[in-house]
Structure 1
Amino acid sequence: MNESQLRKELENRLEKPGRIFTYDRQKESLRIENEETGKGIDVALSGIVAKWHVQKEKAIDEVVYYVEEAIEVMGKEQRVAGSERKVYPVIRSTSFPTESEDGITLMTDEHTAETRIYYALDLGNTYRLLDEDLIKKDGLDPKEIREMARFNVRSLPADMKKDTVAGNDFFFLNTNDGYDASRILNEKFLQEKADQIEGDMAVAVPHQDVLIIADIRNETGYDILAQMTMGFFADGNVPITALSFIYENGKLDPIFILGKNRKKDQ
């Protein structure tokens, strides 16, 4: 399957009265928009084609599901007031847009050189990224919403599965609740893991639905982590970064892993 074939397949499966499809040849993306409201969602086709070669129809099914959910949510008015316990921080790449499609600045905070923090209102099967205008419209304090979001993510379960490869331990969090990567913001959780680590502690958030913590005890461990992170990054619905981080003294430093060498991203 190529981009053209995928475009036709998505248009056939997502076609409904009142919907407009616009193809951007330069960006290789398809926009699905509600004709009445002008609101819609852009879908990057190249990444889905790559996933299709591995997952086949499952890759398309996932896109159709998320687009339908997102468009349905766009047609409803969301309120943060009264739903503060449903606000969570979400991790995204620094290349992720900081404005909504309507040109409204999203609520963000700096995190690392590779990642940025956004804030989302959980809507069940999907979510809405928050902007300060929406927060203030509800008469809420953006600072308090940020604090509540951090509290909420600390309340999420953080049970990890363990795998040992070549003398190195790898721990995986993959609940698929949409906030697996967000657990990287739970400082207490990270410190508790750090206290159990015997070698170097590395952390990775290749996409939003996985958090990897590694106890690296030899050089081979870094190579394994690099391959593992790249695999998850290529397979994720919302990729974040293929780089890993060294966790030391409560700080996360991005590292490049090249064969037997590793360097901090300065």
Structure 2
Amino acid sequence: MNESKLRKELESRLQKSGRVFIYNREKENFRIENEETGKGIDVSLPGIVAKWHTQKEKAIDEVVYYVEEALQVMGKEQQVAGSEKKIYPVIRSTSFPTESDEGIKFMTDDHTAETRIYYALDLGNTYRLLDERLIEKEGLDPQEIREMARFNVRSLSTNMKKDTVAGNVFYFLNTNDGYDGSRILNEKFLQEQAAVIEGDMAVAVPHQDVLIIADIRNETGYDVLQQMTMSFFASGNVPITALSFIYEDGKLDPIFIMGKNRRVDQ
């Protein structure tokens, strides 16, 4: 599978009346757009090709599913008022766009040097990022949205799977509800984990559907964490960051693991 074959496969499976396909060779980006409204979805081809080599057709099936869901949502009007319990924060890379294709700024907050907070209205199988136009249209208070989103994320399950590698303990939160990475904003949850960590506490959000908490008890643990994070980052539908964070005194500080057990704080 290469990018050319993948693009043709996506065009075949997503072909519908009123849709146009735009390929940006320089950015290796494939866009599926509604011809009438100009709204659409951008898909990065290299990441899907890489996933195809390990997941085969499942990788393409997932892309087709998410694109169809997103395009369907774009064709409907969403209302935030009355749906406050469905608002959640979502974590994205700082390289993620801060405005929509129409130039409307998303509601965002700073998080770390590697990540930024966005806010989303949950729509079941997908969600819509809240932007300034929607907030102003409904006369919403941004601070109330922030508070409600934080409250809602604290209500989500924090059950984790545990694995021990080379004397280090790794916990994985992977419910696939779209907000696994958002649990990093649940401060009470992080504090509870910190209370039982015996070594250094590291946290990673390689993509939106996984949160890793590591109890690093020896130097080998950093190399293991780096390998895990890179693997998840490469396989996620919405990659966030391949860097991990040290959690200490309620703060998240990015670290760069150079290999051979060396760690460099950013």
The question of whether the paired residues in 2 share the 8 Å contact of 1:132 and 1:142 is answered with no
Higher mean displacement: 29-38 or 232-241:
29-38
Q: State yes or no: 1:30 paired with 2:34.
A: no
**CA drift at 1:133:** 2.2
Using structure 2 for the length normalisation, give the TM-score.
Answer: 0.98
The CA distance in 1 between the partners of 2:162 and 2:197, in whole Å, is 13
Equivalent positions of 1:68-217 (< 5 A) are 68-217=68-217
Q: State yes or no: 1:261 paired with 2:259.
A: no
Taking only aligned residues, the RMSD between alpha carbons, in angstroms, comes to: 0.7
Percent identity reads 82
Equivalent positions of 1:39-58 (< 5 A) are 39-58=39-58
The CA distance in 1 between the partners of 2:55 and 2:87, in whole Å, is 32
Q: Which amino acid aligns with 2:136?
A: K
SS in 2 for 1:58: helix
The question of whether the paired residues in 1 share the 8 Å contact of 2:104 and 2:132 is answered with no
Q: Which amino acid aligns with 1:143?
A: Q
Q: Which amino acid aligns with 1:92?
A: R
The question of whether the paired residues in 2 share the 8 Å contact of 1:136 and 1:142 is answered with no
The CA distance in 1 between the partners of 2:5 and 2:161, in whole Å, is 38
**CA drift at 1:202:** 0.4
**CA drift at 1:132:** 2.4
Gaps of 5+ in 1: none
User: Residues 54-110 of structure 1: CA distance to partner in whole angstroms, max 9, x if unpaired?
Assistant: 111000000000000000000000110010110000000000000101100110000
Using structure 1 for the length normalisation, give the TM-score.
Answer: 0.98
The question of whether the paired residues in 2 share the 8 Å contact of 1:203 and 1:212 is answered with yes
Q: Which amino acid aligns with 1:263?
A: V
The residue aligned with 1:234 is 234
**CA drift at 1:22:** 1.1
**CA drift at 1:136:** 2.1
SS in 1 for 2:98: coil
Higher mean displacement: 17-26 or 117-126:
17-26
The runs of at least 4 consecutive aligned structure 1 residues that moved more than 4 Å come to none
